[in-house]
Structure 1
Amino acid sequence: MNPWDVFLGTLEITLPVFAMVFIGLVLKRIGWIDQGFVATASALVFKGTMPTLIFLSLIQADIATAFNPGLMMYFTLATLATFLVSWGWAIWRVPYADRGVYVQGAFRGNCGIVGLALAASMYGDYGLSAGGLLLGVVILSYNALSVIILSAYRPGRKMAWLSIAKHIARNPLILAVMAALPFMMLDIALPGWLMTSGEYFASLTLPLALICIGATLSVSALRESHGSAVGASVMKMVILPALATLGAWWTGFVDRELGILFLFFASPTAAASFVMVKAMGGDARLSANIIALTTLMASLTITLGVFGLRVIGLI
């Protein structure tokens, strides 16, 4: 297959995902959807349709194929490494007041929506299953490290570890993974009508979530972006994914596993980072700028990344 055919094939994977994001942006701009719709739809996705999608993808998965402790361990260690790299750079180059928001924006990706959507687009059922299992690691590591870095630069605030632990334990995505485990291990099958209804409900997840991401993009935030936002965005979308993917290849990951790791590490900054920054008294505007910039950059950087990895035959 020549490079042009590989590039066209790559666009078929990434364009449908990012097209939905830009559709959301357009729908918000022309007034077809508003902030109330986005809030309701986002809650529906987070509490209902996405847990259902993860649950169904896991109970239908080949557990021997989808469950990969090595993949989870590498993602955990690489996440910690990217966190430390971005923190070290922030200490050296970023103003003190911006460091907490900068670091969270640089390492915390939107794996639950963008990463999972791309994994499903690229690898089908395997992408959903392996990505769903990986989300448990994502949620635990991202929340814990985000609390650490934001608290470190808010001296007057204590880390509410019990509250954070309760928040993580009640996370619907983690609960979906835990609920699916008995079905996977005991090979329990659900009735056909229930599976069909569940699949109808779950099919709302990715288009609805991607539209909501697009609808929350702020053009004014992009215009107000300054050095810290641009620096965090380049770190998130170019430097850290390249380092983490190179490390994964050097460790021995190839094909589907390497592809999923790249997609998760290359995902734009998670919208949830804005909520946490605001709750902990950080610079919410800087956080919004980083989310907006990385989301717009993702359509280019992820497409080029997948193309490059496919051309050299790694995924």
Structure 2
Amino acid sequence: MLAFFYALIPVVLITALGWLLAKQNFLAADGWRAIEKLVYFIFFPALIINVLAGASFETVPWAMVLVLIGSQSTLALLGLLAKRADDGPRKGSIIQSNVRWNTFVGLSMGSALFGEAGLALMAIAVAVLTSTANVMSVLALTHFAEASEKKKPHILMDMIRNPLIVSCVVGIVLNLMGIAPSGIAEETLDILGQATLALGLLVVGAAVDLEAFKRAGRTTLTWSMVRLLVFPIVALAAGLLINLPSNSLAIVAIAAATPTASSGYILARQLGGDATLSANLIAVQTVFSVLTMPAFYALFLLTQA
């Protein structure tokens, strides 16, 4: 358990530094958006390709994939069952909050705890949960949005162009073909990838709006607890039920216990969701996950005792 705190504390500190830098206007809002774009389109894909192409998988962890998708789908269903008072844009934002997860936090924790093997498994989780989260979020936000003349997004095309999904496919294909990057190519990808986690966490911190945390109401608190508690409980239970290997179960527990992704606010604003509720959910979950993530990792350790 001590190893988990050694891994978590730097993540919290770097995220807090991002928040402080944004609070002090160290960079303009456009500067943070530019960094986020660089991470999303360049650094993150380089990391994923390099890790997956060189990973040693005896078999593709299909059981882990099924647990993640099943748990995520359960959270989407719970959002659909929200009381009628939450119909409309609020419901779209609730469902999106339930199914999204913070990839930067997950990758940082997986890497710090389990090294390259953990990073590779977490990259698989990124591919799986990012793909399904995008589909579920877009469908929910557009379906429950108020009538609008905005052009509906093309979900399939958006997935095909998603740099995280594309990089996962490229990395896995290279792995299956036995063509891992080497020499200059490997070194270049490695240098680019090294920028991912630090910059990613800084961007996460910069996006946290503590004013949103202060104005959180019952709906925000209720659905934040659903996301932070039910997702990892379902994922852990399913993983134990099908006897997931210890390393895969640990990755499932960490991925499911992360807060929702900060990018959800932008998508809610673009697709007719309740952007204010999304901002509140992101802020509350980011703060409380500092407590819930260690609790679920401790629960995972108890299952391995």
The TM-score range, normalised by the shorter chain, is over 0.9
Counterpart of 1:228, as a letter, is: T
Q: How many residues align?
A: 305
1:38 deviation in Å? 1.0
* CA distance 1:219–1:134, shift in 2 (3 Å): closer
Q: Which residue of 2 aligns with 1:115?
A: 106
Contact 2:89-2:272 at 8 Å conserved across structures: no
Question: Could you report, residue by residue, the CA deviation over 1:158-179 in whole angstroms, capped at 9, with x for unpaired residues?
Answer: 9977712111100111111222
Question: Could you report, residue by residue, the CA deviation over 1:104-147 in whole angstroms, capped at 9, with x for unpaired residues?
Answer: 2123212x211122111221111111121222221221111112
1-structure distance, mates of 2:180, 2:101: 33
Counterpart of 1:28, as a letter, is: A
1:289 deviation in Å? 0.8
Q: Which one of 149, 153, 157 corresponds to residue 166 of structure 1? A: 157
CA RMSD of aligned residues (A): 2.1
2-structure distance, mates of 1:183, 1:201: 18
Is 1:305 the counterpart of 2:299? The answer is no
Structure 1 unaligned blocks of 5 or more = 1-5
Question: Could you report, residue by residue, the CA deviation over 1:53-81 in whole angstroms, capped at 9, with x for unpaired residues?
Answer: 0000011101325x211211222222112
Is 1:281 the counterpart of 2:275? The answer is no
1:86 deviation in Å? 3.0
Counterpart of 2:191, as a letter, is: Y
Is 1:53 the counterpart of 2:53? The answer is no
* CA distance 1:51–1:72, shift in 2 (3 Å): same
Structure 2 unaligned blocks of 5 or more = none
2-structure distance, mates of 1:106, 1:131: 19
SS in structure 2 opposite 1:63? coil
Q: Which residue of 1 aligns with 2:35?
A: 41
Is 1:176 the counterpart of 2:167? The answer is yes
Q: Which residue of 1 aligns with 2:92?
A: 100
2-structure distance, mates of 1:30, 1:71: 41
Contact 2:104-2:200 at 8 Å conserved across structures: yes
Question: Could you report, residue by residue, the CA deviation over 1:259-310 in whole angstroms, capped at 9, with x for unpaired residues?
Answer: 1111111111112211221111221111011111111111111022112322
What is the aligned-residue identity percentage?
A: 22
More displaced stretch, 131-140 vs 90-99: 90-99
Is 1:131 the counterpart of 2:101? The answer is no
Q: Which residue of 2 aligns with 1:3?
A: none
Q: Which one of 78, 81, 85 corresponds to residue 74 of structure 2? A: 81
* CA distance 1:230–1:34, shift in 2 (3 Å): same
More displaced stretch, 94-103 vs 23-32: 94-103
